[in-house]
Amino acid sequence: MSNEQNVNPLDEYFNGKFPKQPQSPPGLQKEMDPVPDCGEATYKGNDQLKGKRILVTGGDSGIGRAAAIAYAREGADVAIVYLPEEQPDADEVKKLIEAENQKAVLLPGDLRSEDFSKEIVEKTVSELGGLDVLALVAGKQQSTSNIEDITTEQLTSTFETNIYSMFWTIQAALPHLSEGASIITTSSIQGYSPSENLLDYASTKFAIRGFTIALAKQLAPKGIRVNSIAPGPIWTALQVTGGQPQDSIPEFGKETPLKRAGQPAELAHQYVYLASEKSNYVTGEISGITGGLPLG
């Protein structure tokens, strides 16, 4: 006997063919078709993070946006980091956070800058009165079929965005983090099963795994937890701005056992869980949300 309240994961979200839709990076989520679902209309909170002060990188769109919305609906004040070109998306997130009577801090800039990566921490602490959780989601991904075509500029930019900025931001944050604080990094299925066209990106995601596990061991004596989330194919602006070849966009996500791409909203609860006291015995873990693609 079926339960009418059960939801079939195969068709809970969009499972058709995505139209090809090239955008120049970093792109705008609001111009995508379909627009990614970040939980704007569906996420319901219950004060799991009441009083927390949270900094989210990449918080204007995609997974970071879903996390920021969820954090606000769980009672947290939220600062979001994004590129200046992404201002229209960031303005929408600010309104969504403030609709929950939570404080929103907008931090436009480029995480490839060491000064900016550290400055965002100081601005967050100044505006929110402290810092309890770091959710490091921002990333750069560009599909390149041949290693010979990966320029030094692309290689440097990808590593600065995905790896260097984490070191810089956490270095600045540690003096402000007390016992019970949480750091959440974002790895990927690419950190386990890399695609041949994402050589530089996959390399950074393997690095994030090692970074997370080592830092968790280092900070455990201070009562600070460090964990990571490894998404599979998630429908975000990253994909349509060169993260995938345009010819691959229509079938994006169909290779998973669940036969569809994931939506950012489907990761929000895990970002909340790892930020909350419910995960106080969890550190050094990588949580896969991949539509059935195995980690390892």
Active site residue 43: no
Where does the pLDDT of residue 5 fall: very low under 50, low under 70, confident under 90, or very high at 90 and above? confident
Strand partners, 225: 182
Q: Enumerate the domain spans of the chain.
A: 44-289
Q: Which CATH number fits domain 44-289: 3.40.50.720, 3.30.360.10, 1.10.340.70, 3.30.465.10?
A: 3.40.50.720
Where does the pLDDT of residue 2 fall: very low under 50, low under 70, confident under 90, or very high at 90 and above? low
The residue from 43, 192, 201, 271 that is catalytic is 201
Kindly give the residue spans of alpha helices, DSSP state H, lying in the chain: 62-73, 87-98, 114-128, 152-159, 165-173, 199-219, 237-238, 268-275
d(CA 232, CA 145): 20
For residues 207-232, one letter each, b for 16 or more C-beta atoms within 10 angstroms of the residue's C-beta and e for the rest, the string is bbbebbbebbeebeeeebbbbbbbbb
Q: What is the pLDDT of residue 212?
A: 98
Query: The tokens of 194 are what?
Result: 């890399």
Strand partners, 186: 229
- The CA distances from residue 34 to 67, 235, 269, 290, in Å, are 19, 9, 22, 20
pLDDT tens column, 47-87: 999 999 999 999 999 999 999 999 999 999 999 999 999 99
